[in-house]
Structure 1
Amino acid sequence: MLLPLNAIARGLPPNLGQLASPGPVAFELGPITFRWYGMLIASGLFLGMLLAQRLGRRRGLDPERIGDLTIWLVLGALPGARLYYVLFEWDRYADRPLQAFAIWQGGIAIHGAILGGAIATLLFARRYRLSFWQLADVVAPALVLGQAIGRWGNFFNSEAFGRPTDLPWRVYIPPAQRPPGLADAAYYHPTFLYESLWNLGVLALVLWLFFWGLRHPGRLKAGTIFLVYFATYSLGRVWIEGLRLDSLMLGPLRVAQLVSLGGIALGIVGLLWLYRLKRPLPDVV
C-alpha cells in the first residue's frame, strides 16, 4: 500500500491501509508532461510483448514475428479501446469532438481493445499465413499481464472506482473526481485494484495451462488458452463492474457486464467444442 501523502496534506488521518493517488502526472521534462496513465500502458505493452515472444518461441513461433504482431496490436487495440469508450460516452464529446483523441486523460475500454486487437491479429495471421488460434494463445497471457499493469492508471487518475466503502483497503477520491450526489463520501472501493489482482490470477492460470500443454504434447488444443482467458477475465469483470459507479450504459444495463456474460458463454461453448465434440475451432485464417 502507498502512504497517502496527499491525504495528509488535506488534513485526513494518515492510514496506511488506505490508498490515495499522488495525481496523474509522474513528472515534467521541459514542455513535456509524463503521465502515469500513458507510462503504465506503455509498460504493459512492452512487458506483454516480451512475454509473448518468450511464449511464442516455446510454441515454435519466430519472436521477431511476435514483435511485428505487437505493432499491429497497438494499431488495433488502442484506437479500438478509445472508439468503444467514446461511442458509449458520446454526450461528453459531442460539443468538443477533438477531446475524443485525448487518450492520455483516460477513457478507454478493454473490450474495445480486445475487439480491435482480435481484428488486428486476424489480419496479421492472414497476411503471414499463420494460425490465428496459435497467435491468440500466445497473446492472451501477454494481454492479461498488460491489463493488470494498465489498471493502475485508473488509480493515478482517480477514476474507475466503486461504491463508497469504509473497508480498510478503501481508496480516497478527491472531491473534484467524486460522482454527483456523493460529494461527502471520501472513500470508495478500489475496483482498479480488484481487477488488477483478478487479472494476475488469470495470468497465473493461463501460464500454468500453457506450460502444462508443453509437458503434455497434443493434449492442449489450439485456442484453449485464449478461451480460458476470455471466460475467466469476463467472470471477474461481471462482479467487479457491479461495484463501479462510472459504467458505460446501454439504457439501464451495464455494457461491460453484458459483454462479459457473452465472453463467459463464448469461452464455455468454445471449450465444449474443443473437448466435448473433439473438433478444432473453425479456421478463421
Structure 2
Amino acid sequence: MTGLVLPASLPSPVTGVWWLGPLPVRAYALCILLGIVAAIWITSRRIRARGGTGQEIYDIALWAIILGILGGRLYHVISSPRAYFGQDGNIADVVKIWEGGLGIWGAIALGAVGAWIGCRRYGHNFLDIADAMAPGLLVAQALGRWGNWFNNELYGGPSDAPWALTIHQWDQSAGEAVRDADGNAVVLGTFQPTFLYESLWCLLVAGVLLVLDRRFRFARGQVIALYVMGYTLGRLFFELMRTDPAEVVFGQRINVWVSIGVFLIGLAIFLAMGRRKDYPVRGPALDLTVRDEAEAEVDHGEGAAAVEEVGQDAAPRGRSTRSP
C-alpha cells in the first residue's frame, strides 16, 4: 500500500478568460459577481432574523454595488498611479476594470455611501443594514479573492512549502499565461498564496461575527465596526507578505498604513457606538437565539407586572369617585 503523496505546490490556472464567440467571460468578474450574490443572500437572511422582510437589501444593493465598484477602481488607480500615469503607463487602462484592479478600501468606502443613499431613499436604518451586511461582505471578499488566483496575482515571497502557489508569467491583456516555443505555460516559481490566506481569513472572521452576534447584544454600528477591525487585522499581515508592485510610504507599502488607519477608525466607531447604547429593537424572527427568546420572556413578564401594578393603583381611585 503506497502512502499519500502530497503535491509539491498548489496549481494556478493558465487561463483566466473564456470566449463565447466575441464575448469574453472573465473569471475575475465571475468571482466578484458570485461574491455579490452571496453577500445579498446572507444579508437578506440576517435582516429577516432581525424582524425585517429581507427585501430591504434589494432596495440598496444597486446603489452599493455601482458605487462600490467605482470606489474600488478609483482607489486602485490612485494608490497605483504609475501603471496608468507613469513613464510606461497607459492612461487608457484606467477604465479596463475587467483586467483586475479593485481596491477594497475604496469599494467599502463608496459602497457604504451607496448603501446610505439607498437607506435614505427607502427609509431604512443605515446602521441596522450595515450590521446585517457585515458577515456577507466578508464572504464576498473571500470569494472575490479567487479572481486573483485566476489572474496569477497578489502572491507573497518565494516558498517551497506544500501549499506554495505556482505562478505563471501572465499576459494581462490576453488573460492567460505566456507560453514558450513548445506551447508550455512559463512558470515563474512557487510563492506564498497570500490571496488564499486572505480568503480563509475573511471566512474565519465572518464565522466569528456570526457567533458573537448571537451571543452578545451589540449596539447599532458595533457589528460593522468589528468587521472593519477583523478584516484589517488580517490584511495588515498579508500586506506585509505580498511582493507585487505597490506604492511605498515611509518604507512600507501604502496599504499597510491604510490597514492600521482603518483598524483605528473601526475601533473608534465600536467604542463610540457602545457609549451611545443605541440597541436595535428586533421584531419577530425566524431564527431567534435562545438568549433572545429568554430576554423576550423577561420583557413580557416585566410588562405584564407593570400593567397589573397600574391596575391595582388605579382601582382604589376609581372606587373613591363612585357615589355610594
TM-score range relative to shorter protein = 0.7 to 0.9
Residue 104 (structure 2) pairs with residue 104 (structure 1): no
Residue 82 (structure 2) pairs with residue 91 (structure 1): yes
Q: 1:267 deviation in Å?
A: 2.5
Q: Which aligned pairs between 1:136-151 and structure 2 lie closer than 5 A?
A: 136-151=130-145
Distance 2:24 2:6 in 1: 30
- 2:243 corresponds in structure 1 to 245
Equivalent of residue 195 in structure 2, options 192, 199, 209: 192
Q: Which aligned pairs between 1:170-189 and structure 2 lie closer than 5 A?
A: 170-176=164-170, 186-189=189-192
Q: 1:248 to 1:134 in 2, by over 3 A?
A: farther
Deviates more, 1:247-256 or 1:132-141: 247-256
Q: Which runs of 5+ in 2 are unaligned?
A: 172-185, 280-324
Q: Which aligned pairs between 1:1-285 and structure 2 lie closer than 5 A?
A: 16-25=7-16, 27-94=18-85, 95-176=89-170, 186-213=189-216, 219-246=217-244, 248-251=246-249, 252-275=251-274, 277=275, 279-280=277-278
User: Deviation string for 1:194-229 (max 9, x for gaps)?
Assistant: 00000010110111123335xxxxx32111210111
Alignment root-mean-square deviation, CA: 2.2
Q: 3-state DSSP class of the match of 1:240?
A: helix
Q: 1:73 deviation in Å?
A: 1.2
Read off the aligned partner of 1:105 and give its amino acid letter: E
TM-score (norm 1): 0.83
Distance 1:32 1:184 in 2: 28
User: Deviation string for 1:2-40 (max 9, x for gaps)?
Assistant: xxxxxxxxxxxx962522222343532111121111111
Read off the aligned partner of 1:123 and give its amino acid letter: I
Q: 1:56 deviation in Å?
A: 1.0
Q: 1:185 deviation in Å?
A: 5.7
User: Deviation string for 1:207-252 (max 9, x for gaps)?
Assistant: 1123335xxxxx3211121011110110000001000012532433
Distance 1:133 1:171 in 2: 39
Q: Contact 2:9 / 2:160 at 8 angstroms: preserved in 1?
A: no
Identity level (%): 34
- 1:4 corresponds in structure 2 to none
Q: 1:130 deviation in Å?
A: 2.1
Read off the aligned partner of 2:207 and give its amino acid letter: A
Distance 2:102 2:16 in 1: 18
TM-score (norm 2): 0.74
Q: 1:116 to 1:31 in 2, by over 3 A?
A: same
Q: Which runs of 5+ in 1 are unaligned?
A: 1-13, 178-182, 214-218
Q: 3-state DSSP class of the match of 1:34?
A: strand
Distance 2:64 2:226 in 1: 20
Distance 1:256 1:171 in 2: 22
Q: 3-state DSSP class of the match of 2:156?
A: coil
Distance 1:250 1:111 in 2: 17
